[in-house]
């Protein structure tokens, strides 16, 4: 992490509420100076509340900032542990509406490594919500954060129903979601998207491709795109937990009565 990047992190911390930012900055400085070393546990929430005269909410906000910087990790029943002495590169995907998927893809690039038609076995049929033996286009690749020289964000597999797989826009590098290509080519509109997020361990060839240690924690995100009740496109992405986080916002409304 360069001095310029460190300054940018400090500037980001300085733009929000000062009380919990002061705590976040102090904890960061203690980690940098070795007062809290990699592997050490931070003081408990109760201890930080008492020492800093802060609410639990404020303490949790400070801790969350360092978690988002990849410097500490929280584990239920154990505590909050230092995992790095400098902020780590992380890609944050924020998602409120389906249109955010378009912005996400346009802010990244998918380097396609394979493209072929498959005939589904039982495992693929379960994933793709279809009968065994159905034909789908399978696209595999590695997603990067806008610059292919950067560390990869995810290993990606995209499946398109064979009936919707003639897509002239497909290339070795993609920065547009495949589901939008299907919509434009075939004049359909996706009516529903289902998403599942799974915790996984990244091993073997996947770990080498993502440039992480074998056995590292990861997230697998599965999205299934429907036209009415038929699955048309399915995407899966395996992300290293150390450099990816996923943010969603839910707007709550009051109901009558």
* 228 DSSP β-pair partners: none
CATH assignment of 3-82, given 1.10.10.10, 2.60.40.10, 3.40.50.800, 1.10.3720.10?
A: 1.10.10.10
53-96: pLDDT as tens digits = 999 888 988 888 888 777 888 887 888 999 888 776 555 554 45
Q: Whole-structure pTM over 0.75, yes or no? A: no
- CATH class of residue range 91-248: alpha beta
Domain ranges of the chain: 3-82, 91-248
Task: Give the model's pLDDT for residue 69.
Answer: 79
Q: How confident is the model at residue 118 (pLDDT cuts 50, 70, 90)?
A: very high
């Amino acid at each position: 992490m360069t001095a310029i990047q460190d300054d940018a992190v400090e500037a980001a911390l300085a733009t929000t509420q000062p009380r919990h930012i002061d705590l976040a900055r102090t904890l960061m400085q203690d980690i940098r100076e070795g007062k809290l070393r990699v592997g050490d546990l931070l003081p408990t929430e109760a201890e930080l509340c008492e020492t800093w005269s802060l609410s639990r909410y404020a303490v949790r906000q400070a801790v969350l900032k360092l978690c988002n910087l990849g410097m500490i990790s929280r584990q239920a029943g154990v505590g909050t542990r230092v995992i790095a002495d400098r902020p780590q590169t992380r890609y944050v995907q924020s998602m409120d509406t389906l249109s955010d998927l378009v912005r996400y893809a346009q802010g990244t690039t998918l380097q396609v490594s394979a493209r072929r038609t498959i005939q589904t076995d039982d495992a693929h049929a379960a994933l793709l919500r279809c009968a065994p033996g159905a034909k789908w286009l399978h696209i595999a690749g590695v997603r990067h954060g806008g610059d292919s020289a950067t560390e990869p964000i995810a290993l990606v597999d995209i499946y398109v129903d064979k009936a919707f797989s003639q897509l002239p826009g497909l290339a070795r590098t993609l920065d547009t979601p495949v589901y939008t290509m299907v919509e434009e080519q075939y004049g359909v509109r996706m009516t529903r998207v289902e998403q599942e997020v799974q915790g996984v361990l990244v091993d073997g060839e996947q770990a080498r491709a993502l440039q992480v240690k074998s056995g590292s924690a990861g997230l697998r995100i599965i999205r299934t795109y429907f036209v009415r009740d038929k699955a048309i496109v399915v995407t899966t992405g395996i992300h290293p937990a150390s450099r990816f986080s996923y943010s969603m916002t839910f707007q709550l409304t009051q109901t009558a009565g």
